[in-house]
Amino acid sequence: MIALHWPSIRGRARADLGPLLLVALVVAAVVLLAGATPPLIRSTSDDATREAVRRAADDAAVRVEAEWPDDYGPTGGRLRTPELAIDVANVGTRAEGELDESLRSALQPPVTSVSSISLAITDGSVQRRLQLEYLSTATGEPAVTWVAGRAPGASTDDEFREIPLNGPPWPVQVGLSETDAAALGVKPGDRIPVQDEQRNPYDVRVTGVFRPADVNDPVWGPAPWVLQPAANRDGFGSTRFGALLTAESVPDARLAFRTDQLRRVVRFDADPAGLTWEKAQALAASVARLKGGSAVSAERDPSLKWSTQLDNVLSDLRDQIASTTAQASVLLIAVLAVALLVIALAADLLTHRRTGALTTARHRGASLPGLATELAVESLAVTVPAALLGLALAFVLAGGAALTWVVPFVVVVVCALPAFGTLAAARATRDRRAPANRSARHWIRRTEVIRRFAVDAAVVALAAASLVALRQRGVGSTVDLPAAAPALGALAVTLLVARLLPLGTGLALRLALRSRRPLALFGAARAAAASSRALPALTLTAALALGSFALTLYATADRGLAEGAWQTTGADARLDLSSGSGSGSADDVAARAAAAPGVRHVVAAQVTENAQFIADNTAVPARLIVVDTAAFRELLADTPLPGLPALPTATDGGPVPALVRTGDGSLSPGVRFSLPVVTNQAIALTAAGTAPALGSGDDVVVIDAGAAGPEYEPNTIWATGPGAADALRKAAPGDRVTVRADLLHDRRTAPLTEGLSRLCLLTAGILLALGLLGFALAAAASAPQRWETLARLRTLGLRPRDTRRVAVGELLPPVVVAALCAPPLGALLGWLTLGPLALRLLTAQATDPVTVTPWWTITVVTVVALAVALPAIVAVEASSRRRRRLSEVLRVGG
Amino acid sequence: MSEALLSVRGVNRTFGAGPAAVHALRDVSFDVEPGTMVALVGRSGSGKTTLLNVIGGLDRPDSGTVVVDGLDLGGLDEDGLSRLRRERVSYIFQTFGLIPVLSAAENVGVPLRLARAAPAEREQRVALLLDLVGLADHAQQRPGELSGGQQQRVAIARALAASPRLLIADEPTGQLDAETGLAVMALLRGVVESEGVTAVVATHDPVMMALADRVVHIADGHVTP
């Protein structure tokens, strides 16, 4: 049974109250950070989930489609179904019934639609398309006011009429919105001349023009073109219009179109409110299950077919959250590693202060297990309350606390303090003397060197393994080796540098011996004597290097966001023209914008997202930009975006030259490919050069507007200059203007990026503070010996004021090593590890951002911090000894 | 009788205050003639070290005067005391107090560096002193490579480097075995004679007492003839 000597425990704690409180402070701060970060990541992920689903809007909607049952009548014709709207509503009810509870709670009430194929309007305008739409919700059809004519009705009085299969086009009554009607130039009573791809005509009759009661009513969500014409929905250069069907006219639409030309779809918009990342993951699983159960069949199958991009949206989000979590893990491990080094220095300080007392206790009969238990009790008394305080603060500040990181950290701290003390007591009282035999002493030294080398080699090997693992498989969602790569890398490199430090101080000493300045010699001599301790230099340099890494991560992400905003916008501001807006032609809008003050360049272009090119009989989707390339080149030169190579002039009858860029290399310079267009034959193209990365995706094709022919109809205007945003807004008041600065602000303040940025800065600050604290603790541990030596030098005639300079000289090596090595090491770690951390997922760039090291910030912060800390520590040490006489210092030490 | 190199008059030194006060020195007065070696003898805690500290200017007495080589230490500020230690007074400690990363020769040369001696002069003096203490062959060895007795010899050579007038040694053989201690004592006696220096040596070693020109006893802070 181990007996504890409580007076000794209390006495030691009282004597070392300051260092113990410092340990408690470090434990509380680190536990706060380590405990609060996971819940903060979780809540940030929840915010990001809601934000992503809200922004995805149309892509996040869940769609259910059911094929029509046969409608053959008794005589072999097609039978009109007057209750078709009710049948369609029933599909919605069935779909809702198939949703599990988690999915239903995450989705808004369904909107049911019946949509025709896209028909070409044959009024001479080759690029206009018409789609018939029936829309309804549980509360009925959308509320509209018929400003002209009447609502569409049935085309026949015979509700159950059967029509022949090959009869003339069956008439369908439709309504048009005011905007669509004006753009098409039709009025009630007019017919809209339309035909399908096989040039089959359809009889579409306008019975009324309506005004929606609420343009924001979710019922319009599936078919916004019913309210406003939509550009490029049906391919390059097209504009889609929508015609509204009613419950009375939709049975006629069923007869007017073949079964495969009319789709009935139930759409559930996602409801981001109340959505969390955890729920979203369950949601993604439910959606995947529903989609997986929707087998594609060649047979007519009235069962429900589920489709949505929600799982892809959530998959992208999962990647972003994984990337953020990985970066947070990397930063957290860095803090924990440095905090443990600081704790080791604190334990070393306590050991220095207690060696005498512990040795005396041993001489008086205390056993090592007994001393270890007493020190463990003290350690528990300091560490556990501090950890609980940190956890409580984490609960208050973050709404929760995670123990994943906290428990191992606290366990190591609890063990470190008694381990250091017990080892010191054991060393001080063991009955082992240095052997008199020189070769035996040499062998002991060699064994020590080999042991140290083995430890160093193990750390270096572990760091290398973690780096390789990080570059090969990235960081997982759990605590794993790759996440420790930067911390281990910093420790390994710093350890090697610390091992080389005695060589440097030895060299400095040799130089000082040649010098005639005694202070330089004394400083160098003390530095050489102290440099055999690797821990101070290791802690300070690793802390500052990892702090530099955190700032590098911050700067790289920030620059990446800025470049991503440039790529997405393409200029200072971008205008997306809608076909039906009253802003006039794109050229007019561009001219008005160019004339506005503060605008340097304006370029109009036709941009088609996901244009389908054909290369080598394979469809290649890419962003198509048709633009005046000369003007575009000038505009790009006014931005940080890469320049536009020159395009050769198109030859008569030859393929149109294009600049291409595809992520998978399917389009590369020299390749011939084509672009099918709606009404004409395909446009033949030849890849004449490499296009710069423009837009969020990596696939882009640029052709000159002069070569595009009649298909060229600009829908996008880019502008640069301080007045670009205002100019575009004024030039086209009704259209959407994307302002790069606003986009950048939105992305910077997005939950994940903002959270990561704050964590980077916080981590850098904490690491700097920990590094300086570790340095101060190391200085405090060596202070008694330092000042005793200085006192002895004073007995030889050293002046009191010169002692500070010698003390500074002794403490200088770790500071110099940190100042010289930490910034480049931080940059090196960033260069090695930021790629696998997939920052591009947060910066919305097509490729990984280039590593940006804020050299000035890092250098200034490092140099200023060290330049202030070093003299401050020496001043405090000198001040605390000012009242002590030289004799006192020599009698009791430091 | 020549003028005293060291004159101590009515020196008192008390540590602490009130009932817990420790009177380390009580009205201590004595003189030391130049070129003599005085053994300061007393039991542990008798005030030997305190008296040496006061004599060497490492501590200031509460009252009384200490005059070294004509200089009243009470009138010297810290810089003055530093100059005194650099030019006139040297110390030899029980724990040697050598700089571990410097060789024996470099350690001996430290006071000469502080005195801004020319390198050639310094090297010559160091060689002479190492020869004097019998360590000419160990000049390039570091303290860790020397025995305790050798280290104390280096400390003696260092103490003599700046040609002090007064040598103060506090238990210089305290950490040495009897044989080595005797050799060190003999060396001290020898250098006092050869260098013409005055020495005050705190000791309770009877051999040292026998080697001294004079023995001053101290007990409970009082000096007794």
CB-based contact A789 B99, cutoff 8 Å: yes
Residue among B49, B53, B113 minimizing CB distance to A521: B113
Residue among A521, A525, A796 minimizing CB distance to B85: A796
Interface test with A, best of B54, B102, B145, B167 (most A CBs within 10 A): B102
Query: CA–CA separation, A836 vs A469, rounded Å?
Result: 10
Query: CA–CA separation, B29 vs B45, rounded Å?
Result: 19
Report yes or no: B150 at the A interface, CB cutoff 8 Å: no
Give the pLDDT score at A55.
80
Paired residues of B25 in beta bridges: B13
Query: CA–CA separation, A34 vs A27, rounded Å?
Result: 10
Report yes or no: B56 at the A interface, CB cutoff 8 Å: yes
Residue among A529, A795, A798 minimizing CB distance to B58: A795
**A291 Cβ contact list (under 8 Å, min separation 6):** A306, A307, A308, A311
Average pLDDT of B180-208?
Answer: 83
Contacts of A804 in chain B (CB under 8 A): none
A127, A237 Cβ separation under 8 angstroms = yes
Minimal Cα–Cα distance from A795 to chain B, Å? 6
Query: CA–CA separation, A678 vs A297, rounded Å?
Result: 29
Q: What is the mean pLDDT of each run of 10 residues along chain A (894 residues)?
A: 76 86 93 91 88 80 84 84 88 84 82 90 76 90 92 86 85 93 90 88 94 90 88 68 93 90 88 83 81 57 75 84 87 93 92 84 82 90 94 91 90 91 83 71 86 92 91 68 90 93 92 87 89 91 96 93 89 80 73 91 87 82 87 91 82 82 78 74 82 76 77 84 91 84 91 90 95 94 88 86 90 92 93 83 79 92 93 90 69 51
Cα dist from B168 to A272, B28, B90, whole Å: 86, 17, 6
Query: CA–CA separation, A695 vs A846, rounded Å?
Result: 8
Tokens found for residue A150: 């009447």
Tokens found for residue A503: 């060589």
Query: CA–CA separation, A390 vs A386, rounded Å?
Result: 6
Residue type present at position A30? V
CB-based contact B50 A887, cutoff 8 Å: yes
> Within 13 Å and on the Cβ side, how many CA atoms surround A142?
30
Average pLDDT of B122-140?
Answer: 90
A761, A554 Cβ separation under 8 angstroms = yes
Contacts of B90 in chain A (CB under 8 A): 796
Which residue from A minimizes the CA distance to B162? A796
Residue type present at position A702? V
**A468 Cβ contact list (under 8 Å, min separation 6):** none
Query: CA–CA separation, A174 vs A239, rounded Å?
Result: 19
Cα dist from A793 to A890, B103, B169, whole Å: 11, 16, 16
CB-based contact A516 B106, cutoff 8 Å: no
Could you give the strand order of the β-sheet that contains B214-219, starting from the edge strand earlier in sequence?
B89-92, B166-170, B198-203, B37-41, B214-219, B222-224
CB-based contact A793 B56, cutoff 8 Å: no
Q: What is the DSSP letter of A601?
A: E
Report the Cα B80 to chain-centroid distance in Å.
18
Cα dist from A388 to A13, A235, A384, A406, A525, whole Å: 20, 62, 6, 10, 45
Report yes or no: A509 at the B interface, CB cutoff 8 Å: yes
Give chain A's radius of gyration (CA, Å): 37
Paired residues of A208 in beta bridges: A149, A175
Interface test with B, best of A794, A796, A889 (most B CBs within 10 A): A796
What is the β-pairing status of strands A700-704 and B222-224? unpaired
Contacts of B59 in chain A (CB under 8 A): 885-888
The interface predicted TM-score (ipTM) is 0.90
Nearest Cα residue to B40 out of B23, B56, B62, B60: B56
Cα dist from A495 to A35, A458, A532, A536, A546, whole Å: 29, 11, 12, 11, 14
Q: How many interchain CB pairs under 8 A, A with B?
A: 74
Give the three-class secondary structure for A649: coil
Which residue from A minimizes the CA distance to B81? A797
Phi, psi dihedrals of residue B214, rounded to the nearest 5°:
-150, 150
Query: Which residue bears the tokens 């060197």?
Result: A449
Minimal Cα–Cα distance from B1 to chain A, Å? 31
Query: CA–CA separation, A877 vs A535, rounded Å?
Result: 20
Contacts of A438 in chain B (CB under 8 A): none
Q: What is the DSSP letter of A109?
A: P
A574, A738 Cβ separation under 8 angstroms = yes
Domain residue ranges in chain B:
6-88+164-224, 98-152
Nearest Cα residue to A518 out of A195, A172, A805, A130: A805
Tokens found for residue A583: 């802003």
Query: CA–CA separation, A795 vs A774, rounded Å?
Result: 32
Residue type present at position A517? R
Domain B6-88+164-224 has CATH 3.40.50.300: yes
Nearest Cα residue to A421 out of A378, A382, A385, A455: A378
End-to-end CA distance of chain A: 39
Contacts of B83 in chain A (CB under 8 A): 797
Which residue from A minimizes the CA distance to B96? A792
Query: CA–CA separation, A161 vs A146, rounded Å?
Result: 28
A262, A114 Cβ separation under 8 angstroms = yes
Helices (H) and strands (E) in chain A, counts: 24, 23
Contacts of A796 in chain B (CB under 8 A): 85-86, 90-91, 110-111, 114, 158, 162
Residues in chain B: 225
Residue among B59, B102, B114 minimizing CB distance to A796: B114
Cα dist from A520 to A268, A515, A786, whole Å: 79, 8, 15
Interface test with B, best of A526, A795, A888 (most B CBs within 10 A): A795
Give the pLDDT score at A891.
58
- Please give the residue that has the higher pLDDT: either B24 or A298: B24
CB-based contact B100 A529, cutoff 8 Å: yes
Query: Which residue bears the tokens 């030039």?
Result: A731
**A255 Cβ contact list (under 8 Å, min separation 6):** A71, A78, A80, A163, A170
Q: How many CB atoms lie within 10 A of CB A366?
A: 19
Q: What percent of chain B has pLDDT over 70?
A: 99
Contacts of A434 in chain B (CB under 8 A): none
CB-based contact B60 A885, cutoff 8 Å: yes
Which residue from A minimizes the CA distance to B147? A436
Residue among B53, B56, B106 minimizing CB distance to A513: B106
pTM of full prediction above 0.90:
no
Contacts of A516 in chain B (CB under 8 A): 113, 116, 119
End-to-end CA distance of chain B: 18
Domain residue ranges in chain A:
1-54+311-432, 61-308, 437-566+749-894, 578-734
Alpha-carbon dihedral A790, A792, A795, A801, rounded to 10 degrees: 0
Report yes or no: A797 at the B interface, CB cutoff 8 Å: yes
Interface test with A, best of B110, B158, B170 (most A CBs within 10 A): B110
Report yes or no: A507 at the B interface, CB cutoff 8 Å: no
Give chain B's radius of gyration (CA, Å): 17
